[in-house]
Amino acid sequence: MEAENNIIQIKKDKPVQIFSKGHREIGVNVIKSPAKLTILTLLRDSEMEFDEIVENTGKSKSTISAHLKGLREEGIISFKFDDKDQRKKIFYINSRFLGEIDVPEPFELKEQKVDFLLENIINKDDSDAFEFSRLLFHTFRSTLIQEGININPILYEAGKKIGLVLYEQLKDEDFNTFVSNLQEFWIDYGLGEIEINTNDEFKIMLHDCFECILLPKTGMPTCYLAKGVLESIFTSFYKKDLNIIETMCNIMGDDTCVFVVEFLE
């Protein structure tokens, strides 16, 4: 029984992950091997030398060598030689992480049931034409969650492209006017309400966030589409690189979604 529980835990901790092919190649790689997934998890945080990978995985050198070779042949990782010691190889991810598929929950989420959708979207007193779009998006996201499919990286990239388009509609040299345009757009299109606070820390608050307000409480930030949109919009305004981190989210049990803006050096 203990062995079975361990297997289940491995599946939950190591969902199947999807990566693009190597540079300029078409297609995807689906990684199921727990050992390979452990290696890729390490490399997603930072580049790592061979002996470090061995030490952090607890596997033998021969096992790690075989898995690294397989990942290189699939175009997912590559390596370079250490500038200080040409005998050492430093490995890094050479492809894009596209998402993952976890073990589906063995029950239907209430957020997918017809009565929930009718009560919270279709039959609301303030429902309008935009609510059908919200129904489509909500059903799409909740179905992915139900099936254990995570496409957060793709949503983030899509959001960045949308943000570039929106900026052209909202831009203004004056910050207050620009923010007012953004807030008005968010309300007009039924996306919720945006509040900007730049006092001690640059924060963006999304009230009644369109992306997550009705999703099941998973305990992890999930507004990757909004993150991409906002990151792209404010990067365009300031004309400098910045990073936006979601620190609070409705599906974490918070009343609002909060993003902290960090300017990069």
Beta bridge partners of 261: 244
The Cα–Cα gap between 242 and 68 comes to 33
Residue pair 208/193 in contact by the 8 Å Cβ criterion: yes
The Cα–Cα gap between 220 and 149 comes to 14
Q: Residue for token digits 């400098």? A: 240
> What is the CATH superfamily name and number for domain 152-265?
Trafficking protein particle complex subunit 3 (3.30.1380.20)
Residue ranges, CATH 3.30.1380.20, the chain: 152-265
The Cα–Cα gap between 203 and 61 comes to 46
Residue pair 121/138 in contact by the 8 Å Cβ criterion: yes
Residue pair 173/146 in contact by the 8 Å Cβ criterion: no
Cα distances (Å, whole numbers) of residue 226 to 21, 161, 222, 245: 27, 11, 9, 11
pLDDT in tens, 5-58: 333 333 345 677 778 776 666 667 778 888 888 898 889 878 999 999 999 988
Please give the share of the chain, as a percent, with pLDDT higher than 90: 39
Strand order in the sheet with 203-207: 193-197, 203-207, 257-263, 242-248
pTM greater than 0.85: no
pLDDT in tens, 160-185: 999 999 999 999 999 999 999 999 99
Residue ranges, CATH 1.10.10.10, the chain: 2-100
End-to-end CA distance of the chain: 52
142 token code pair: 């909740």
Task: For domain 2-100, give its CATH number from 3.30.1490.20, 1.10.10.10, 1.10.287.3610, 1.10.287.1060.
Answer: 1.10.10.10
The Cα–Cα gap between 209 and 193 comes to 7
pLDDT in tens, 82-114: 888 888 899 998 888 877 776 555 556 665 566
Hey, what amino acid is at 25? Answer: E
